[in-house]
Amino acid sequence: MTASTEIAKKVESLIIKCAEVRTTLLQKEKRLRESKSECAKLQKSLTAEKELHELIANPAKRDLLHVAKLVAKAKELAKELDLFLSGLEETK
C-alpha cells in the first residue's frame, strides 16, 4: 500500500468519523434544547405554584395571627371580669 493510499484511507476514515460525531452532536444539541424547553416550562409552573401557595399561605398566616390576638384579648377580658366579679362579692 502506498503512502498516498494510506493517507486517502485515513482521510476517508476521518471524514466518516467526523460525520458520525457531527450527527451525535446534533442529536445531543436537540436533546439539550428540548431539556431547556422542559426546564423553562417547569420553572414557570413552579413560579405559578409558589404564587398560589403565597396567596393561600399568607391569608392563613394572617388569620392565625389574628386568632392569637383575639385569644390574648379574651384572656385579658376574662381576667378583668374575674376582678370585677370578685369586687362585687367583696361589696356584698
Asked if residue 41 and residue 16 are part of one domain, the reply reads yes
41-50 confidence digits (pLDDT tens): 999 999 999 8
CA angle, 29 as apex, 20 and 26 as ends, to 5°? 25
Residue 16: all three cell numbers together: 466518516
CA angle, 46 as apex, 40 and 52 as ends, to 5°? 140
Asked if residue 63 and residue 52 are part of one domain, the reply reads no
What is the domain count for the chain?
2
Asked if residue 39 and residue 29 are part of one domain, the reply reads yes
Q: What is the CA radius of gyration of the chain?
A: 39
Dmax of the chain from CA atoms? 130
* Exposure b/e, 10-31, CB count within 10 A at least 16 = b: eeeeeeeeeeeeeeeeeeeeee
pLDDT of residue 92: 63
Percentage of the chain exceeding pLDDT 90: 66
Give the structural domain span for 38. Answer: 1-56
Asked if residue 41 and residue 9 are part of one domain, the reply reads yes
Asked if residue 51 and residue 87 are part of one domain, the reply reads no
